Amino acid sequence: MHKAVAAAILMAAVAGGAKAEVWQLEARAVPFDDSSAAVPLTYTPLSHAARPWRFCVLYPHLKDAYWLSVNYGMVEEARRLGVAFDVYEAGGYPNLSRQIDQLKGCASDEFDAVILGSVSYAGLTAEVERISRLKPVIATVNDIDDSGITAKASVPWTEMGAAAGRFIAERHPKGSPPARIAWFPGPQGAGWVIFVEAGFRAALADSSAEIVMTRFGDTGTEEQVLLVEEVLEAMPDIDYLVGSGPMAEAAVPILRARGLEGKVKVVSTYLSHAVYRGVVRGRILAAPTDSPVLQGRLSIEMAVRALEDRLTTYHAGPPVWTVKPETAGVAVIEGSLAPASFVPVFSLEAGPAAKASP
C-alpha cells in the first residue's frame, strides 16, 4: 500500500474521537531493533482501561510544536481510555541530569508506569533498569537503549533522515550539477540525531548533492536562528538548508529578510505546525512525518496493555511518509498536528473511559 494511502487510513482511525477503530502501523520484525524489517500491522486499540492507572510521562522539552502534538495525542488517548498522567519536561536535550532526577521521581508509588521521551540514547539506562524492576517503562518517540524497556512506540529515525535525503537525491541524481547542503541534524548526543544523520547521509550517497557544512544544536528556536544566520554569513550561496523542524521554521523568515527566498531551499526532517504551513505555502519543499499525535496515543495504549498483561506488540509506530504540497491535507493535520487552540496539558485526571461502539 502506498504510504500516503496508509497514512490516510491511519488518520481516519485516530480522528474517530471516542470510537476505537484500527490503526495502520508498522511493527519491527525484531522488537527494539529499528534496522529489522517493517511488518505492516492492523492494530486494534483497547476500548477502555481496566483501572484508572496513572502514568509518569517525561519529555525532552515542550519548546517546539512536535512535542506539543505528542502531548495532544496522549491527552486524547488517556481521556478515551479513562487513565491519568503527569508530565515532566527536561527543558532541552542538554539537560540529562534533570531528566534523570525526573525519572527517579517516577519511581513513586503514585505512578503505575512510566512513558519516557528520552534526551539521551544511553544516558538514562541505569535508572531505566532500576525503575523497570518496579513498573513498566514505555519508550516513546526518541530512540533509547532497550535495557529495561517494556515496549516502544516509535519510528526508525534513520527512515526520517532517509526520507529527507531521498527527496533531495531525486532532485539531484548522480551526474547532475552538484547541490550544496548545510545540514542541521539537531542536538549532538540526542537519542534520535545519530540515526537521522545516518539515514540522511546514506540517502544522499548516490546523488550529486553533498553536505558542505554541518551545525549541531538544541532544537530551541533561538539556537536554530543563530545557527542558520552563522551558515548564511559564511556561505550565502548554499543551495539547501536541511534539518530539524525549528531550523526550517527559523530559516523561512531569515531567507526572506536576506532576499534569498527561492534561491536557498529548505527541507525539514520532521513536521510541525509552522513547517506544515511552510510546505503548503511553498516556502519549505518537503518534510517527512512520523505522525506524532498517533505516537502519543500509542504510548498511552501500550502502557495500559503492559499493566493489564495485554501487551502483544512490543515495538511499533506509524509509517513514515513525506509531506509535500501535493500530499498535504486533512490526513496530515489530524495525525501529525495538535489543534491550533491546544495548550500543553501537564496533569490529567482520570475520567470515565469512553467505551467504543461495538
Q: Which residues of the chain have pLDDT under 70?
A: 1-20, 191, 353-358
Q: What is the SS3 assignment for 333?
A: helix
Residue 244 near residue 268 (C-beta atoms within 8 A): yes
For 59-82, write each residue's pLDDT tens digit: 999 987 889 999 999 999 999 999
For 118-155, write each residue's pLDDT tens digit: 999 999 999 999 999 999 999 999 989 999 999 999 99
Q: What is the SS3 assignment for 276?
A: helix
Going by the DSSP 8-state scheme, the letter that residue 325 receives in this structure is G
Grid cell for residue 156: 526508525
Q: What is the C-alpha to C-alpha distance for residues 113 and 120, in angstroms, rounded to an integer?
A: 20
Cα end-to-end distance, the chain, whole Å: 27
Going by the DSSP 8-state scheme, the letter that residue 258 receives in this structure is T
Grid cell for residue 129: 533498569
At residue 354, the pLDDT reads 59
At residue 21, the pLDDT reads 79
Residues 6+ positions from 79 with CB-CB distance below 8 Å: 348, 351, 354
At residue 8, the pLDDT reads 39
Taking alpha carbons only, the member of 90, 150, 83 closest to residue 300 is 83
Per-position DSSP letters for 302-317, written without gaps between them? HHHHHHTT-----EEE
At residue 2, the pLDDT reads 41
At residue 355, the pLDDT reads 53
Q: What is the CA radius of gyration of the chain?
A: 20
Per-position DSSP letters for 207-230, written without gaps between them? BSEEEEEE----SSHHHHHHHHHH
Q: Across the strands, what pairs with 116? A: 58, 139
Taking alpha carbons only, the member of 112, 91, 80, 119 closest to residue 298 is 80
State the amino acid at position 305 in one-letter form.
R
User: What is the model's pTM?
Assistant: 0.86
Q: What is the mean pLDDT of the chain?
A: 91
Q: How far apart, in Å, are the Cα atoms of 230 and each of 128, 211, 235, 254?
A: 38, 16, 9, 11
Q: What is the C-alpha to C-alpha distance for residues 130 and 114, in angstroms, rounded to an integer?
A: 12
| Number of other residues whose CB lies within 10 A of the CB of residue 208 | 16
